[in-house]
Amino acid sequence: MTYGPAEFAAEYDVSRETLRRLTAYDAVLLDWSARHNLIARSTIEDRWDRHYRDSAQLFALIPEKAATLVDLGSGAGFPGLVLAAMGAERGLKVSLVESVGKKAAFLAAAAEAMRLSNLEVIPQRIESITISPPDVVTARALAQIEKLLGYAHEIADEKTVLIFPKGQDVEAELTAAAKSWHISVEKRPSVTSPGSTILVIRNLRPKAAQRPARTRRP
């Protein structure tokens, strides 16, 4: 059976407004994908399973009291735009960080179509952003864990929760990351990809001296 908006709404019990926002996003995604390489063409037909559902499963892992979320390397908006739509009714503020100009323009166009007031697009490289420490950091298909932790450390504090979907090489990536970082890790199986894992990481601390943290925006 094809997995589409109706199946998504039933599985995640989203409101009509949330589904409206996501279908508006989907219309912009299809329009832009005809001209730009936003998602793999092989995944367009089953995008509601491969991308929307895959992103939505992260929402349950966001702490209930979380007020701010930063999505690194947002690209086509997965998971950032999906989480912003699902979190709009509870006031979750989402920042999408994307340095590629065309992708940042797409994210802004999608956010406008979705009528999201709880979202901002930051069109900068991850290494150059200056923001207040968020409650949650997400990243999907961006980099290996060790590099993601380095990115997160620049903007996070001791209370920030990191949520990273990872593939079958997760154990090797965790082993490599353990050489440089102290972390507490919770592993959750992915509902969309057998063998894949979602990491929920807390208590991020460097093992060796890191470069001084940049001054953060109040």
Structure confidence by residue, pLDDT tens digits, 139-168 = 999 999 999 999 999 999 999 999 999 999
pLDDT greater than 90 at residue 109 = yes
pLDDT greater than 90 at residue 1 = no
pLDDT in tens, 177-195: 999 999 999 999 999 998 9
Q: The dihedral of CA 194, 85, 100, 176: what is its sign?
A: negative
Report yes or no: 121 and 76 within 8 Å, Cβ to Cβ: no
Q: The dihedral of CA 178, 180, 182, 188: what is its sign?
A: negative
Give the burial class of 182: count Cβ atoms within 10 A of its Cβ; 0-12 exposed, 13-18 middle, 19 or more buried.
Answer: exposed
Q: With left for phi above 0 and alpha for psi between -120 and 50, is residue 155 left, alpha or beta?
A: alpha
Q: In sequence order, what are the residues at sequence separation of 6 or more whose Cβ sits closer than 8 angstroms to the Cβ of residue 9?
A: 19
Domains of the chain: 5-206 (3.40.50.150)
How many angstroms separate the CA atoms of 83 and 56, rounded? 7
Strand partners, 95: 70, 120
How many angstroms separate the CA atoms of 132 and 130, rounded? 7
